[in-house]
Structure 1
């Protein structure tokens, strides 16, 4: 028996309906905030991803050579393709450009809970605006999308200038090592490394900075910096919008990629791998042949959203109807079936030529209501509506059934 590849999943109808419900909520909220959906190719030139991440990323990607000898890769993420698309297609658009996307990505890594080799991202990019308002807009959108989905999470926000200022006197290689420790949330290891390279004077400030939870505490460690006013303004905007957050100066997210504000969301119910959103301000367009363009964005791990939600997806349940008929009522049943469907009611009719009792038995397994049409109903034009959960039934017109099930 041929099985699905490791790190991939088959999704049955119940799961797909839950996913589509959450997708629809998130798409609507993004559109309300002015972000319009785009789509990029599933595969791109391999160089698109190595140009900023180095050749080492190839080991984590699905890379192949096409018949023309070109090196192509299944996309491991979507920010680079979106910026490539902006440089190629969108530079003449009015600024800022506000795009969102929902698509699958591919990475060759060890599968684990909420982490697959084929996975889905819901993300957004705001391109061409360089302001506190723009930074806040992206953070608020990410927060709104997760709240709309129903996820319980904590939003943590930092700024790369915090650690950049504290570590300014270190050699670049040492800065990268400290950042790597912080990115893995290994603050003790970062302190130990500072001691190992004879930078003990930075240990106490690093500990104090990592523990700072207000801007006043942050600036008491590093002093006022050129970005102070903009940072304070961004947090003020979040406060005005009543966005709950925690300040976390230790957020690193790869300083070679991001340039300013950085933020992450951590969800309940995901164990150690509980980060569900990551983003920040960055500049990438120039790497792909465009002008140096300020941008900010984020990506949400949609598979982790679904794991975090579990079965707790609060939505209006759409009643499902099975039309039950006898041979004498079949023609009328066909007409009624289409009338119910036209009015947006999920309706099925027997396709197996089963007996009346067998149809009722099947309806009890998959439907909420049975619409019964026998010889009597075919003559009168009414139907018998049976609530399969309550066991009650009543004679109604088709219009009454529509009003009852689709108010």
Structure 2
């Protein structure tokens, strides 16, 4: 029997590579000062209903429990983290840096890069509205991709604040703005402009808005200057563009400016974004491997005090697929440092004690739990790539000894059990 469609079993070799990716995320938690948290995979539906966006809401797993409460499997993590900051973490000093590794669920049509269960690794920074916070998030994500053997990638950058400022000027309310931005995110620009024209009280800002979102993407630094000239008569929109310019300048102190590509028409499907937004793409697939942005009103939406926030989620499942399918990178499941083979029932107790002592010294020891000949054990170890083999037979039990064989050098030596430190040094020196 297979798992439900779009949800994958992870085999040892799959999880070995995913574990490496997760280790890279957790390394960045430590290097940048982010504290790891966990929230439940099941949330109240209302956590996502207000600002997750139409695209997310249409693809959520939603159900009612026996008490008639409407619940959902989390489709993303920023909203639950903001809920946590508004509640249990509301008294913590700011800025507050939080990280997570989480499985999320969306009822998408399964295809490459889209699974119904997927892992995210995220970074959320609360308490700063300054551009340096946005730049830190971009730099963290850049650091991640430098560490996972993806050398050719770029940042697709936009700013929701510019779009919203022009729609504010046109007299379009926030709820209608959310729908318009959602349509743009799905590539339905004509429908978006039709809806905007329907709800606008002033059409002139819309003409600039449409012109803006149709501009071809280019390196952020130069293109933002062009946009600033276009927005000369729109103070709020110009302020947002200046904010993006500052973020790009700061991020460019670490990230190659050629990797920061500004898309004036870029919008993300999540309705809670208020400022800079971004996604990261590899050169070999048109699917975002990471994304994020600024959400200054989200904590307040959950009843908390106004706390600005900015964050990013790395698509661990997508990165895994990209590494394996596009770059041909794989990872074997971890091998033991030594295989411990009891050759008779009399050696079982001796075997377990020796293995325990080895593990106490940090040596990964796998115990043979099936009756096999020594020649079969050697063949298996060589096939798996295990270099060291400990052989424990009746002689070793009688004399309280350890026989250690190096299958690479084809050498074998006996050690007293009391001299297990020498066995440990030999194994660690060769692995």
Query: TM-score per shorter chain, which class?
Result: 0.7 to 0.9
Instruction: Find the aligned partners of 2:290 and 2:341 in 1 and give their Cα distance.
Output: 47
Q: Which residue in 1 is equivalent to 2:235?
A: none
1:20-55 deviation per Cα after TM superposition (whole angstroms, max 9, x unaligned): 222122112112201111111111111111122468
Q: Which residue in 2 is equivalent to 1:372?
A: 391
After TM superposition, the score normalised by the length of structure 2 is 0.79
Q: Residues 325 and 172 (structure 1 numbering): CA distance in 2 closer, same or farther, change over 3 Å?
A: same
What pairs up with 1:175-194 in 2 under 5 angstroms? 179=181, 182-184=184-186
Q: Residues 13 and 343 (structure 1 numbering): CA distance in 2 closer, same or farther, change over 3 Å?
A: farther
After TM superposition, the score normalised by the length of structure 1 is 0.84
1:76-122 deviation per Cα after TM superposition (whole angstroms, max 9, x unaligned): 11111111111111111101111011111111121112321111111
What pairs up with 1:4-403 in 2 under 5 angstroms? 4-53=3-52, 57-152=56-151, 153-163=153-163, 172=172, 179=181, 182-184=184-186, 205-206=211-212, 209-223=215-229, 225-227=238-240, 229-244=242-257, 245-248=259-262, 249-254=264-269, 256-269=271-284, 271-272=285-286, 274-282=287-295, 283-310=297-324, 312=329, 320-327=337-344, 332-369=350-387, 370-374=389-393, 379=399, 381-387=401-407, 390=408, 392-395=410-413, 397=415, 398-403=420-425
RMSD across aligned C-alpha pairs, in angstroms? 3.6
Instruction: Find the aligned partners of 1:74 and 1:276 in 2 and give their Cα distance.
Output: 22
Structure 1 residue 58, shift from structure 2 partner: 4.6
Conserved? CA contact 1:98–1:124, under 8 Å:
yes
Instruction: Find the aligned partners of 1:56 and 1:10 in 2 and give their Cα distance.
Output: 26
1:62-86 deviation per Cα after TM superposition (whole angstroms, max 9, x unaligned): 1111111111111111111111111
Instruction: Find the aligned partners of 2:294 and 2:310 in 1 and give their Cα distance.
Output: 4
Structure 2 spans left out of the alignment, 5+ residues: 233-237
Structure 1 residue 363, shift from structure 2 partner: 2.8
Conserved? CA contact 2:119–2:317, under 8 Å:
yes
Structure 1 residue 399, shift from structure 2 partner: 3.5
Larger RCO (CA under 8 A, 6+ residues apart): 2
Structure 1 residue 185, shift from structure 2 partner: 6.1
Q: Secondary structure at the match of 1:155?
A: strand
Instruction: Find the aligned partners of 1:234 and 1:143 in 2 and give their Cα distance.
Output: 14
Instruction: Find the aligned partners of 2:381 and 2:333 in 1 and give their Cα distance.
Output: 21
Conserved? CA contact 2:180–2:193, under 8 Å:
no
Instruction: Find the aligned partners of 1:395 and 1:215 in 2 and give their Cα distance.
Output: 66
Q: Residues 55 and 211 (structure 1 numbering): CA distance in 2 closer, same or farther, change over 3 Å?
A: closer
Q: Residues 324 and 151 (structure 1 numbering): CA distance in 2 closer, same or farther, change over 3 Å?
A: same
Q: Residues 8 and 255 (structure 1 numbering): CA distance in 2 closer, same or farther, change over 3 Å?
A: closer
Conserved? CA contact 1:253–1:262, under 8 Å:
yes
Structure 1 residue 402, shift from structure 2 partner: 2.4
Instruction: Find the aligned partners of 1:49 and 1:204 in 2 and give their Cα distance.
Output: 29
Q: Residues 313 and 96 (structure 1 numbering): CA distance in 2 closer, same or farther, change over 3 Å?
A: farther
Structure 1 spans left out of the alignment, 5+ residues: none
